[in-house]
Amino acid sequence: MADLAAQMIALGNAIQALEDPAVRLRVIENVRDMMHEVSPLASQPVDRVRWVPIDEVEPNDYNPNSVAAKEMGLLYTSIKHDGYTQPVVVVRDEARGKYVIVDGFHRYFTCRNNPDILARNHGLLPIVVISKDINDRMASTVRHNRARGEHSVQGMAQMVFSMLDKGWSDADICNELGMEPEELLKLKHITGFSKLFEDVEYARAWESRRQIRIRKDWEAKERGEATPTAAVTSEGQQDAKEG
């Protein structure tokens, strides 16, 4: 084991010494191929995630799934902030020398159509390869689509509540979750979250009690007064009654 560890360290140092990133990536891919061949989990596609030039990957012509513009924007934000956490699922078309997408077209599209993402990936896309005929491919595509499901309204509402309670602004929530302001207001209202807000006239910029408390504390501090944290709720209710 000691000899093997020494050999692995030597290999790592040799790869690190390669100055050309493209050459380094090719060597790393070759090493990963060798590791995959002897892996006890070689039968699992995810055991070998490959980075291939995006021009070698193309969409299929049968995927029934579609994603709205705002969800595509959120996918871009997710990949920009978190990187690729899921590879694109493909099959190999040897006759044409291409990888055909089974699942992950939108992850492919985001990389191909956003220069910043493509540049960060060195023009490469992460894929896993499965072996399927056309019928099985189509079934796999549908299974992948349906297995993911969708966020329920209640689930999204709980997420919004948690973010508001932690002091997030409406703008931050909309940007991070890919939501329109009207959608955020609807979630606040139709899920019963309006009970968590002060009795004020309907507005585009509702605030949670926590947000109101933080704002009033800050305003009091700016005026050099004691912070009114303890009285925020009762004061807000009284103001609403008098208004």
pLDDT for residue 176: 67
pLDDT for residue 242: 39
pLDDT for residue 152: 55
pLDDT for residue 200: 37
Do residues 108 and 126 make contact, with C-beta atoms less than 8 angstroms apart? no
pLDDT for residue 66: 57
pLDDT for residue 168: 75
pLDDT for residue 170: 80
pLDDT for residue 171: 81
Task: Identify the H or E element spanning 88.
Answer: strand 88-93
Phi-psi category of residue 221: left, alpha or beta, with phi > 0 → left and psi -120 to 50 → alpha: alpha
pLDDT for residue 71: 75
- Paired strand residues for 197: 208
Phi-psi category of residue 15: left, alpha or beta, with phi > 0 → left and psi -120 to 50 → alpha: alpha
- Paired strand residues for 146: none
pTM of the model: 0.58
Q: Compute the radius of gyration of the chain from its Cα atoms.
A: 26
Q: Where are the beta strands (DSSP E) in 104-189?
A: 124-129
Residue 102, exposed/middle/buried by CB under 10 A (0-12, 13-18, 19+)? buried
Tokens standing for 179?
């939501």
pLDDT for residue 136: 59
Q: Work out the angle at residue 176's Cα, subtended by the Cα atoms of residues 174 and 180, and round it to the nearest 5 degrees.
A: 25
Tokens standing for 159?
């997420």
pLDDT for residue 60: 79
39-148 under CATH 3.90.1530.10, yes or no: yes
Q: What tens-digit pLDDT sequence spans the chain (243 residues)?
A: 788 889 889 999 999 999 999 899 999 999 999 999 999 999 999 999 999 999 999 987 765 455 567 678 888 999 999 999 999 999 898 888 999 988 888 899 999 999 999 999 999 999 999 886 655 555 566 565 554 554 456 656 766 776 777 777 888 777 766 667 877 787 777 555 555 454 434 344 445 555 566 667 767 776 777 665 544 444 444 443 434
pLDDT for residue 215: 64
pLDDT for residue 238: 43
pLDDT for residue 63: 55
Give the domain ranges of the chain. Answer: 39-148, 153-242
